[in-house]
Amino acid sequence: MKSRDIAFALFVNLGAGTNWVGTKLVTDYFPPLFSVGMRFVFLAAMLSMFARVIPGQMRTVFAVAITLGVMQFGTMFVALDLADDVAPIAIANQIYVPFSTILALIFLKERIGLWRASAIAIAFGGVVVMGFDPSVFRRWDALLFVIASAASLTVASIFMRRLTGVKVFEMQFWLALIAAPQMFLLSWMFKSGQIDSMMNAPWLGYGAFIYGIATGSFLFHAGWYYLLRRYPVTTVNPFMLLMPVMGVATGMAVYGDIMTWRIALGGILTFVGVAIIIVRSDVKGGGRDRRPARGSTGARQKLMPEISNA
C-alpha cells in the first residue's frame, strides 16, 4: 500500500470516527430514517453533475445503493437512535471487519498472510476487550441493529470491489438518488413527526446534519470506495478498526461516556494491530492491487481502473 494511501486511510477513518457523535446528535432531533433521506436528497443535488448511466454496471450500482444506502445507513441510524451511549455502537460495528475478511476470502478469492491475519486478530481483539464493557450490553435492541448494519456493509464492500469504470462521485450520486425515496417511505411507515422535527430542531441538530454529510458521505464512504477500488478488502478494512477508538473519544467529550480500563486497553490493542498492518504494507508492499498480466485468465474481470476524480 502506498504511503500516500496509508495516510489517506488513516485520515478517512480517524475523521469518520467523529461522525458517530454527529449522527447521534442528528437522531436526537430528527427521526432516524427521515434524516437519512434528507441527507441523500442533499447529496444527490450536490452531485447531480456526476449523473450518467454506466453501461453494464447499473445492476451492481443498484445493489450497492440498496445494501449500503438503504440497509447499512438505515439500520445504523436506528441503532444510534435507540442507544444511550455512542461508544457501544461504535465498538459493536467493528464486527464488520471479520465479516468482510471472511467474505473476501470466499467470494473475491483474496489471500491473507500470517502477519496481516495476526494484526487483524490483535486489532479486533482490542474491539472485543472494549466490547466486554458493561455499557455495550445495556441496549440489546440497538446492538442487533448495529450487527445488521455491519452485515449490510460487508455485502456492500463485495459489490463495490466488483464495479469497474464507476468513479467515486458517480457512485455517491446513484446511491443517494436510489436510496432517498426508500428512506422517506420507510420513515413514514414507522415514524411520525418528520415535519415537526424540521421546524423545531435547533442549530446544533442542523449543524450535526451538515457535518454528517461532510464526514459520513464525502469523507468516509467516498474515501472508502476509493480505497476499495485500489486495494483488496483485507488490506483496507483493518483501518476501520480505528473508528471505534475515535468514536469512544468523541463520545466521552460530547456525551460524557466514561473511560474504563477495558475501553483504554482495547483502544491500545486496536492501534497496535493497525500499526502492524501499516508497517508491513509500507515495507513489503502488502495489499497492493495485483493486476493480472494482459491476456491472462480473468484479466477483464479483475482489472480495477484508476479513479481520476477521487
Sequence spans of domains, the chain: 3-288
pLDDT of the residue at 293: 37
For the cut 80, the answer to whether the pLDDT of residue 57 exceeds it is yes
Of 224, 221, 264, the closest CA to residue 244 belongs to: 264
pLDDT of the residue at 32: 94
1-46 pLDDT, tens digit per residue, is 788 888 888 888 777 788 888 889 999 999 999 999 999 999 999 9
pLDDT of the residue at 59: 94
pLDDT of the residue at 205: 92
How much of the chain, in percent, has pLDDT values that exceed 90?
31
Which tops the pLDDT comparison, 139 or 106? 106
The average pLDDT across 102-120 equals: 77
288-307 pLDDT, tens digit per residue, is 444 443 343 343 333 333 33
pLDDT of the residue at 41: 96
Helix axes of 168-190 and 73-82: crossing angle, nearest 10 degrees = 50
pLDDT bucket at 226, cuts 50 / 70 / 90: confident
Determine the Cα–Cα distance for residues 186 and 228; give it in Å rounded to an integer: 30
Task: At 207, list the grid cell.
Answer: 449543524
114-125 pLDDT, tens digit per residue, is 877 887 788 778
DSSP string, 87-117: HHHHHHGGGHHHHHHHHHHHHS-----HHHH
Helix (H), strand (E) counts: the chain: 17, 0
pLDDT of the residue at 302: 37
How much of the chain, in percent, has pLDDT values that exceed 70?
85
pLDDT bucket at 281, cuts 50 / 70 / 90: low
Of 107, 75, 127, 103, the closest CA to residue 245 belongs to: 127
Determine the Cα–Cα distance for residues 84 and 122; give it in Å rounded to an integer: 28
Break the chain down into helix, strand, coil percent, rounded to 5: 80, 0, 20
Which tops the pLDDT comparison, 197 or 267? 197
pLDDT bucket at 180, cuts 50 / 70 / 90: very high
pLDDT of the residue at 207: 93
The average pLDDT across 79-101 equals: 79
Which tops the pLDDT comparison, 161 or 136? 161
pLDDT bucket at 283, cuts 50 / 70 / 90: low
For the cut 70, the answer to whether the pLDDT of residue 310 exceeds it is no
For the cut 90, the answer to whether the pLDDT of residue 285 exceeds it is no
Amino acid at 283: V
DSSP string, 276-296: HHHHHHHHH-TT---PPPTTS
